[in-house]
């Protein structure tokens, strides 16, 4: 597969607004993204009373738990989002954070599964997704290589198609921690497709990942960099998403199209004749006069003796008088070099 899927991750950027969620689908589709991604949180099902994030969160939410509750959509609302994505021709996925979320999403329907960084060792959750035999993208943000490899092998044994997203759990992620160099390393070590889940808040890492052969590029999106939300600083705008999509397409087209350098030169023979240089006289010479580096030069067009053969002419004699500026022909030289 030579394509590279661009995944537009909404996450919680909709801020609990169903209308905003639908607007993100339209914006991602308009930008040319291949996939729209949400997160399916069911606060009661995924968060225990011991969770340290049950703290004051925002002016609107007394606790982080309240924020997760506000992010929830009903099952009919999830079906509506899926249908909207289908109508716009963009693939729909959502990361589940509980078994209840997996069951809900199986009823709604997803194109494939995206496993969040904190769920890579959650085997009950993985088993529930693996039952569908759909592609599973594993986010590697919190995992050492051995743990990641173990989960990949576990899912392969279940007959799943697996891919890994190089990811650093930092919001925003500085360039020195993105780990772009791991893309070819992970591909070689795991022998599966590798992508990038980017939290840099720029399009640069995604473009570089495409050049390195990433099969999936995931970026968080927002409407504006001043929007409220924990992921805004690590997100790109929908306008930037369009630039990223265009850039990835450009890079992939240039990398995946065979390029025959010799054939390209043949196709450019008319331009070569115009822009390359031929050997000319910088001064007039008389019949029998010696050609030297002082009375020879190179000028356009390239339809005469190539400039690369200057050393072959130096030391030869002119067969007849030649004017300054004229292009020398082999027939103008006493010792024919043609």
- Tens digit of pLDDT for each residue in 163-174? 999 999 888 999
Does residue 337 belong to any structural domain of this protein? no
Residues 170 and 107 in one domain: yes
The domain that holds 307 is classified in CATH as 3.90.1210.10
Q: What is the pLDDT of residue 47?
A: 75
Which among 195, 221, 256 is the end of a domain? Answer: 256
Which among 256, 289, 306 is the end of a domain? Answer: 256
Number of structural domains found in the chain: 2
CA dihedral (94, 100, 105, 111) positive or negative: positive
Percent of the chain whose pLDDT exceeds 70: 96
- What mean pLDDT do residues 175-200 have? 96
Closest by CA position to 163, among listed 244, 89, 241, 217? 217
Q: What is the pLDDT of residue 313?
A: 94
Q: What is the pLDDT of residue 45?
A: 87
Does residue 242 belong to any structural domain of this protein? yes
Q: Is the pLDDT of residue 215 over 80?
A: yes
Does residue 338 belong to any structural domain of this protein? no
Residues 78 and 104 in one domain: yes
Is the CB of residue 236 less than 8 Å from the CB of residue 199? no
Question: How much is the mean pLDDT over the chain?
Answer: 93
Q: What are residue 304's phi and psi, to 5 degrees?
A: -105, -150
Residues 95 and 235 in one domain: yes
Residues 182 and 289 in one domain: no
Q: Is the pLDDT of residue 302 over 80?
A: yes
Q: 85-143 pLDDT, tens per residue?
A: 999 999 999 999 999 999 999 999 999 999 999 999 999 999 999 999 999 999 999 99
The domain that holds 167 is classified in CATH as 3.20.20.70
Q: 21-73 pLDDT, tens per residue?
A: 999 999 999 999 999 999 999 988 887 767 665 666 677 777 777 887 888 99
Residues 181 and 216 in one domain: yes
Q: 329-338 pLDDT, tens per residue?
A: 999 998 766 6
Residues 225 and 274 in one domain: no
Residue span of the structural domain in which 279 resides = 264-332
Measured CA to CA, the distance from residue 245 to residue 3 in angstroms comes to: 12
């Amino acid at each position: 597969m030579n394509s590279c899927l661009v995944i537009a991750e909404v996450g919680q950027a909709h801020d609990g607004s169903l209308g905003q969620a639908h607007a993100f689908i339209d914006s991602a589709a308009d930008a040319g993204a291949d996939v729209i991604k949400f997160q399916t949180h069911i606060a009661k099902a995924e968060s225990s009373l011991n969770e340290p994030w049950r703290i004051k969160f925002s002016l609107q939410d007394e606790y982080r738990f309240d924020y997760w509750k506000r992010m929830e959509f009903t099952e009919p609302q999830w079906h509506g989002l899926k249908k909207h994505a289908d109508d716009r021709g963009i693939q729909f996925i959502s990361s589940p954070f509980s078994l209840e979320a997996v069951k809900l999403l199986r009823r709604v329907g997803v194109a494939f599964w995206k496993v969040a960084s904190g769920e890579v060792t959650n085997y009950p959750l993985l088993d529930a997704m693996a039952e569908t035999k759909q592609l599973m993208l594993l986010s590697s943000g919190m995992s050492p290589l051995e743990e990641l490899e173990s989960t990949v092998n576990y899912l392969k044994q279940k007959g799943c198609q697996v891919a890994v997203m190089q990811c650093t759990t930092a919001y925003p992620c500085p360039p020195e921690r993105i780990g772009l160099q791991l893309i070819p390393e992970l591909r070689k070590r795991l022998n599966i497709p590798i992508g990038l889940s980017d939290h840099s808040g720029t399009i640069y890492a995604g473009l570089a990942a495409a050049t390195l052969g990433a099969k999936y590029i995931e970026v968080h999106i927002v409407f504006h960099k001043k929007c409220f939300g924990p992921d805004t600083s690590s997100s790109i705008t929908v306008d930037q998403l369009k630039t990223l999509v265009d850039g990835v397409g450009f890079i992939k087209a240039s990398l995946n199209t065979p390029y025959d350098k010799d054939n390209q030169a043949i196709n450019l023979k008319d331009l070569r004749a115009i822009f390359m240089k031929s050997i000319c006289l910088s001064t007039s010479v008389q019949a029998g006069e010696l050609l030297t580096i002082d009375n020879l030069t190179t000028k356009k067009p390239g339809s005469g003796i190539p400039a690369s053969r200057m050393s072959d002419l130096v030391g030869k004699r002119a067969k007849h008088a030649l004017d300054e500026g004229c292009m020398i022909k082999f027939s103008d030289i006493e010792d024919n070099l043609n």
